[in-house]
């Protein structure tokens, strides 16, 4: 039941880890509730956490239980805790110290049995030094600190996470199971994932919505992943590049040229290789007149 503080870049999967900790704990049969401390106005955060009594403020027409009370026996996840309003911090500190709180407008203490897991993408020790975050609250939260590295620093996690998301999303979308092919695996492993786990999930969800396939291949993945791989290959030879460096436009031109060559000028097939629509590729071709002749053999491009 120790309090856990998860830290790491945005999108690294802190919420997934929090849910996993809850699911594998003795509290798994009780609620897992979460609040994003950066998503609510300051005057609503306390009410959402601890509830309010009737008449506590304008529009408070009835008593409302807060998340701390509703999560009794389970886990309360404080996401983006570094953005918690200063006025709410001492009340959360008291709640962590003795598991008691008062509803907004209330006079009686309410006691609950709740495990708290907090997460942040901020440097909380630095915020403590500057006075932006209470030091006593930080120490109460930091009982079990866990730092989650960005996805680019844990490449062995990319494919297990991708397989998990593909399986879960396939069920959510009520479609047949989808398998990752070797070409898709290699491409996913080569991408640096600046948006971390959230970006991986979003890309796979987009592909599964747009592509009705049983096997997910590299050609089904969006062009930005292909471009990143091509750029990576070119950057590895920086000594042979001109001093002005590498332009993204050149990478895009090379990708389109390769796709047209592999598809023998067929724009529809080339678009499939690039993971974009035929109309999108036709639009991109208007930027590269030198490639127009390579696409002219495709009757669908006329």
- Write out the two tokens for 63: 């008593």
Does the structure show a pLDDT above 90 at 10? yes
**pLDDT for res 203:** 94
- Is domain 4-148 given the CATH code 3.30.300.30 in the classification? no
Looking at the DSSP bridge assignments, the partners of residue 32 are 75
- pLDDT tens by residue, 178-229: 999 998 999 999 899 999 999 999 999 999 998 888 999 988 888 888 877 6
Structure confidence at residue 245 as a pLDDT band (50, 70, 90):
low
In the chain, CATH 1.10.8.60 sits at 151-221
Q: Mean per-residue pLDDT for 143-152?
A: 96
Does the structure show a pLDDT above 90 at 159? yes
The pTM assigned to this predicted structure is 0.73
In the chain, CATH 1.10.10 sits at 242-302
Q: What DSSP string describes 184-196?
A: HHHHHHHS--TTH
Which carries the bigger pLDDT value, residue 269 or residue 170? 170
Angle at 103 (CA atoms; ends 99, 104), nearest 5 degrees? 135
Q: Lowest mean pLDDT: which of 39-48, 77-86, 111-120, 161-170? A: 39-48
Looking at the DSSP bridge assignments, the partners of residue 75 are 32, 115
Percent of the chain at pLDDT above 90? 58
Topology annotation, domain 151-221: Helicase, Ruva Protein; domain 3 (1.10.8)
CATH of domain 242-302: 1.10.10
Which carries the bigger pLDDT value, residue 35 or residue 105? 35
Structure confidence at residue 297 as a pLDDT band (50, 70, 90):
low
HSE (side-chain half, CA atoms, 13 Å) at 27: 21
CA-CA distance, 14 to 1, in Å (whole number)? Answer: 18
Q: What DSSP string describes 52-102?
A: E-TTSSTT--S-EE-HHHHTTTSEEEEETGGG--TTTHHHHHHHHHHSEE-
Structure confidence at residue 234 as a pLDDT band (50, 70, 90):
very low
Kind of pairing between the strands at 115-120 and 75-79:
parallel
Q: Residue for token digits 């979460």? A: 34
Mean confidence (pLDDT) of the chain: 87
In the chain, CATH 3.40.50.300 sits at 4-148
**pLDDT for res 179:** 94
């Amino acid at each position: 039941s120790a309090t856990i503080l998860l830290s790491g870049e945005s999108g690294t999967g802190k919420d997934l880890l929090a849910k996993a900790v809850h699911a594998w704990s003795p509290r798994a049969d009780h609620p897992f509730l979460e609040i994003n401390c950066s998503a609510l106005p300051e005057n609503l955060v306390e009410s959402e956490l601890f509830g309010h009594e009737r008449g506590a403020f304008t529009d408070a027409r009835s008593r409302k239980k807060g998340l701390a009370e509703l999560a009794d026996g389970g886990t309360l996840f404080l996401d983006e805790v570094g953005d918690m309003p200063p006025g709410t911090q001492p009340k959360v500190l008291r709640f962590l110290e003795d598991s008691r709180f008062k509803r907004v407008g209330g006079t009686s203490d309410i006691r609950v049995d709740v495990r708290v897991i907090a997460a942040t993408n901020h440097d909380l020790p630095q915020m403590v030094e500057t006075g932006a975050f209470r030091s006593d609250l930080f120490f109460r939260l930091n009982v079990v600190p866990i730092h989650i590295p960005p996805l680019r620093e844990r490449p062995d996690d990319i494919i297990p996470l991708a397989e998990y998301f593909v399986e879960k999303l396939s069920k959510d979308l009520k479609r047949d199971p989808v398998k990752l092919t070797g070409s898709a695996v290699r491409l996913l492993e080569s991408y640096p994932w600046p948006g971390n786990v959230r970006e991986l999930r979003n890309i796979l969800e987009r592909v599964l919505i747009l592509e009705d396939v049983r096997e997910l291949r590299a050609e089904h993945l969006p062009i930005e992943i292909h471009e990143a791989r091509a750029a990576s290959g070119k950057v590895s030879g920086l000594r042979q590049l001109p001093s002005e460096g590498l332009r993204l436009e050149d990478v895009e031109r090379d990708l389109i040229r390769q796709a047209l060559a592999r598809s023998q000028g067929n724009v529809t097939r080339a678009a499939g290789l690039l993971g974009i629509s035929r109309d999108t590729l036709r639009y991109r071709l208007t930027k590269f007149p030198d490639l127009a002749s390579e696409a002219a053999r495709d009757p669908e491009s006329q």
